[in-house]
Amino acid sequence: MFILKSNFKPTGDQPQAIDQLVKGLKQNRKNQVLLGVTGSGKTFTIANVIQKLQLPTLIISHNKTLAGQLYQEMRDFFPDNAVSYFVSYYDYYQPEAYMPATDTYIEKEAEVNEMIDKLRLKATTNIITRDDVIVVSSVSCIYNIGSAQEYRNFTMQISVGAPADWHTLAKRLIELMYSRSEFDFKRGSFRIRGNYMDIYPAYEETGLRISQKNGLIDSIELFEPLSGVTVASEIIKSTVIYPAKHYLADPEVVKSVEPQIRADLKKEYEELKAKNKIVEAERLLRRVSYDLEMIKEVGYVNGIENYSRYFDKRKPGEKPYSLLDFFKFKYGDNFLVVIDESHMTVSQIRGMYNGDYARKKVLTDFGFRLKSAFDNRPLKFEEFYNIPSKFIYVSATPAEWEVELSKQEAMQRTDPYNGVTEQLVRPTGITDPEIEIRPAKDEIPDLIKELERRAEKKQKTLVTTLTKKNAEELASYLKDKKVRAEYLHSDIITLERSTILENLRKGDYDVLIGVNLLREGLDLPEVFLVAILDADKEGFLRSRTSLIQTMGRAARNTSGSVILYADTITNSMKLAIDEINRRRIYQKEYNIKHNITPVTIYKPIREKIVEATETDILNDKRLIAYDESIVAEIDPDSYTAIDKKKLIKKLEREMKTQAEQMNFELAIAIRDKIKQIKS
């Protein structure tokens, strides 16, 4: 059951937006739009919709930074529910490719982030095992991850009283893609030590210790993999181990499909020879034969996903299994898909298939892959759209496609609701920012003066440029002028982006310069000014939508303002300014009518979700050596609901440790602090 926990109640336009969206979903509307201005609490609105309808929900964002932010917010709203994070697990990814012009083959190269991989596996495990699931995802959710049915079937049940046959259990764990490691005990591995078997599930923070007595499993305990200390006192009678990888091949299935793979290999081999592509034919024969031998021997090979069609028993061209299929498999039509920043996310989903197909076409033409590689792909947009039965598109600037789709569906109903809900009022009363246009001719000298003035007042600024190079060069130039500046763009790895944003909020620098990543969704209440360079350079980055989104970054502060550097007023500028002014007038009238005084948004700086494990999130280095003064300093009000739960667990373990070491006074102090936190 979804239980929303918040100190706030819906205000402003939120109540009517929640009621309208809930009503629409109850009417089985497939498409609805939530047009919500920046800072209006769109996430809180969606959280209330989820609670009211008790719907498992997939929230899709177009980049990892925003997905991480949404994940944190949903975790805070639903601390007792299964909120998961599902994004691409690559810190670096170079897909397999071939360039015929230079005869250059580029092997697939990737750096997998172990924490993200764990969170992905946790997400799918939650879907299979629970009903109170919210998954926050990037568009990676449309990529092939194997069958949900097979994932559920590929499990190992461990129960107290069952035979303790370490050999049989080890063999099954290896089939589930766990590795045996006696010395390097890490996620996705197991070890055997006499009467004990330790398993570190790939999707958990704790290990499982199984003990045997008289040939039977005697106990199952949770423990910290690093220290080996038991972390839970509850008695575990039975548990289920899920796979360590999303895509795996059942040995029996491999045996059954090998003849089909070899038949297709022979057919495509002959086709290449018929085209006088002798080298390509021999290359294909050699590569596929090697892959098959590796799969038979160890159950896995780099690129195994290119044979997924055979293992999944899909026909050529049939859609692959994605995260949406996990939802469909478990919940049928009873789940919700929320597309955040839909004006960007929808178009991104649309473009995934064609790019993947073009790359695979070259690989198959030149004998690097069987044509089955085409079926290891992202979903086509039509395939994606046909899986869920309930969509909510969320954006401050929704695209024409989702607006018209929702309105067309509404025209078939007698209800006056047109499928588009506006949420223009912020709970804080903050209005859209004031806009000033300044000449582009001397934009940099003028900008520096403005930044220096803002820095003296400890006010933060966002600056947007047209290119990555411009962002880097401007940041360097500003640093030479003694302005504390940093740049942010897509070449910076995901984890570092979050750190840069956090450092701006902390005050490590005063100015953040970016290109496109500063547009949507960033929640930075410390920002007083947004400066847009070359605002009159009409194009994607200076379109009506982009300008509105970028200007919205200044709408978290009562003193927020925007400077557009331009020598002419383009049509995009005019449309964006008119829309901002329309909203600003509406917001001011609402504030006057309801006697609201705007208040700047305050949001705590949350712990990062990816760099550390869940058990390390609250690992304040000061607490390595506990004493009563440090315990007394812990302020329960500074923690979110989810972090309070983790803190309590950490303190309970420490209290037990101190009691065992005869440090009773400290143990009592920790006990009292736990009581304070719980109250």
Which pLDDT value is given to residue 626? 52
* pLDDT-derived band at 502, boundaries 50, 70, 90: confident
Residue 108 is given by DSSP the state -
Which of 77-86, 233-242, 397-406, 466-475 is the least confident region? 233-242
- The whole-chain average pLDDT of the chain stands at 87
- In sequence order, the 6+-apart residues with CB closer than 8 A to the CB of 329 are 148, 149, 152
91 pLDDT above the threshold of 70: no
611 pLDDT above the threshold of 50: no
* pLDDT-derived band at 620, boundaries 50, 70, 90: very low
Which pLDDT value is given to residue 642? 62
Gap between the Cα atoms of 546 and 395, Å rounded: 12
612 pLDDT above the threshold of 50: no
Residue-wise pLDDT for 230-275, tens only, equals: 887 668 899 999 988 876 666 777 788 899 999 999 999 999 999 9
Q: Which residues pair with 422 in a beta bridge?
A: 35
- Given a contact cutoff of 8 angstroms between Cβ atoms, the answer to whether 116 and 89 are in contact is yes
Question: What average pLDDT does this structure show over 647-658?
Answer: 79
- Given a contact cutoff of 8 angstroms between Cβ atoms, the answer to whether 462 and 518 are in contact is yes
- Among 145-149, 373-377, 556-560, which range has the highest average pLDDT? 373-377
Gap between the Cα atoms of 39 and 432, Å rounded: 10
Measuring CA to CA, which residue among 51, 58, 59 is closest to residue 79? 51
Which pLDDT value is given to residue 618? 39
Which of 79-83, 155-159, 439-443, 636-640 is the least confident region? 636-640
- Given a contact cutoff of 8 angstroms between Cβ atoms, the answer to whether 136 and 70 are in contact is yes
290 pLDDT above the threshold of 70: yes
* pLDDT-derived band at 323, boundaries 50, 70, 90: very high
Residue-wise pLDDT for 194-213, tens only, equals: 899 999 998 888 899 999 99
Q: Which residue has the higher pLDDT, 624 or 112?
A: 112
* pLDDT-derived band at 643, boundaries 50, 70, 90: low
User: What are the tokens at 10?
Assistant: 């819906």
| Cα dist from 91 to 140, 322, 495, 665, whole Å | 14, 21, 8, 46
368 pLDDT above the threshold of 50: yes
Question: What average pLDDT does this structure show over 301-326?
Answer: 89
Gap between the Cα atoms of 63 and 393, Å rounded: 16
- Given a contact cutoff of 8 angstroms between Cβ atoms, the answer to whether 280 and 272 are in contact is yes
| Cα dist from 167 to 176, 244, 249, whole Å | 14, 19, 21
Which pLDDT value is given to residue 375? 93
Which pLDDT value is given to residue 303? 83
Cβ burial, residue 219 (10 Å; 0-12/13-18/19+):
middle
Which pLDDT value is given to residue 622? 34
* pLDDT-derived band at 495, boundaries 50, 70, 90: low
Residue-wise pLDDT for 406-464, tens only, equals: 999 999 888 889 999 999 998 889 999 999 999 998 899 999 999 999 999 989 999 99
Q: Which residue has the higher pLDDT, 528 or 518?
A: 528
* pLDDT-derived band at 621, boundaries 50, 70, 90: very low
Show the 3-state SS of 279-320.
HHHHHHHHHHHHHHHHHHHHCCCCCHHHHHHHHCCCCCCCCC
Question: What average pLDDT does this structure show over 457-484?
Answer: 91
519 pLDDT above the threshold of 60: no
The reported pTM is 0.76
625 pLDDT above the threshold of 80: no
Percent of the chain exceeding pLDDT 70 equals 90
Which of 85-94, 382-391, 444-453, 465-474 is the least confident region? 85-94
Which of 145-154, 165-174, 329-338, 426-435 is the least confident region? 145-154
Gap between the Cα atoms of 235 and 256, Å rounded: 41
